């Protein structure tokens, strides 16, 4: 049950991070947003790592760190591009497809496969996601797939979902080799250094952008930190596909927020039905 609660805490933190990021991206570019998020997270975790102590770094850990940091660098830039270019209630639910991809990547990479009930829960969440993106016109039942062709933000987010199905398994390796806190810090600290030359070349006056949005950017980094820590502790307790399935339920909160505060009310009936189906999927995973 603790693993489930930690994974659900990850979902709430992810939703808060996504909503705050969407507001920030009206004022700053995606490169500054990515850099500042990892900067805040690193600064918040430094005293924690100092307190718990450094961990021994095995060759397996270093290979996992290299692979994860490079993949995550590409993902975070695609992610910010996606939510900047499209409605968050359309693009963000696509990341709930990550658990579906993990039914392939997890058995291959770490030998984990859900039970029958767990598999049913994951598939239920995926179906809920599809419904939430469906047009209310019954003739447009394949509209979510069509949006992947026409909507650049949707294509970016689908790619993000697939890459995250790989990096989530690498996280399991990193946590097994060290600890949840040290792995979370190491991965994002390395990504921070990768972002420096990208920020230098791509961003226009990032220092000014950060100063003008310092408090909202601080909140994004804080929510990112709580999300990562909750996820790393959760994957020690329950299967990685379960953690990621629950984490992706953040789409529920995103859709509700978009409806209430951003006036994104297109296809709201299907999105509400999708939310209900997603919640059923979460319940099935919880009892599995």
The mean pLDDT value of the chain amounts to 84
The whole-model pTM stands at 0.81
For residue 152, name the pLDDT band (cuts at 50, 70, 90): confident
Each residue's pLDDT tens digit, 50-63? 887 778 889 999 99
Residue 288 is given by DSSP the state -
Give the pLDDT of residue 128: 81
Give the pLDDT of residue 256: 76
Residue that the structure tokens 């989530």 belong to = 168
What average pLDDT does the segment 269-282 reach?
82
Alpha carbon distance 233, 86 (integer Å)? 32
Locate 278 and state its tokens.
């997603």
Q: H/E element holding 175?
A: helix 152-177
For residue 64, name the pLDDT band (cuts at 50, 70, 90): very high
- The percentage of the chain sitting over the pLDDT mark of 70, rounded to a whole number, equals 89
């Amino acid at each position: 049950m603790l693993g489930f609660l930690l994974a659900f805490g990850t979902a709430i933190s992810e939703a808060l991070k996504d909503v705050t990021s969407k507001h920030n991206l009206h004022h700053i570019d995606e490169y500054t947003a990515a850099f500042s998020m990892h900067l805040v997270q690193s600064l918040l975790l430094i005293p924690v790592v100092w307190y718990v102590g450094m961990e021994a770094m095995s060759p397996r850990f270093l290979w996992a760190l290299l692979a994860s940091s490079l993949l995550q660098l590409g993902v975070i830039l695609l992610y910010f591009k996606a939510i900047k270019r499209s409605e968050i209630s359309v693009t963000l639910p696509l990341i709930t497809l990550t658990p579906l991809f993990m039914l392939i990547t997890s058995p291959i990479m770490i030998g984990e496969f859900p039970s029958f009930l767990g598999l049913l829960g994951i598939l239920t969440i995926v179906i809920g996601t599809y419904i939430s993106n469906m047009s209310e016109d019954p003739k447009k039942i394949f509209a979510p797939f069509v949006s992947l062709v026409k909507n650049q933000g949707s294509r970016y987010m689908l790619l993000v979902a697939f890459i995250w199905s790989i990096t989530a398994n690498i996280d399991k390796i990193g946590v097994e080799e060290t600890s949840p806190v040290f792995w979370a810090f190491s991965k994002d600290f390395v990504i921070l250094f990768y972002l420096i030359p990208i920020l230098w070349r791509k961003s226009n006056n990032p220092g000014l952008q950060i100063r003008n949005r310092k408090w909202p950017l601080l909140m994004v980094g804080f929510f990112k930190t709580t999300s990562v820590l909750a996820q790393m502790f959760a994957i020690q307790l329950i299967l990685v596909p379960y953690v990621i399935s629950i984490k992706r339920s953040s789409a529920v909160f995103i859709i509700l927020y978009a409806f209430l505060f951003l006036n994104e009310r297109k296809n709201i009936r299907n999105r509400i039905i999708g939310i209900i189906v997603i919640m059923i999927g979460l319940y099935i995973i919880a009892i599995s």
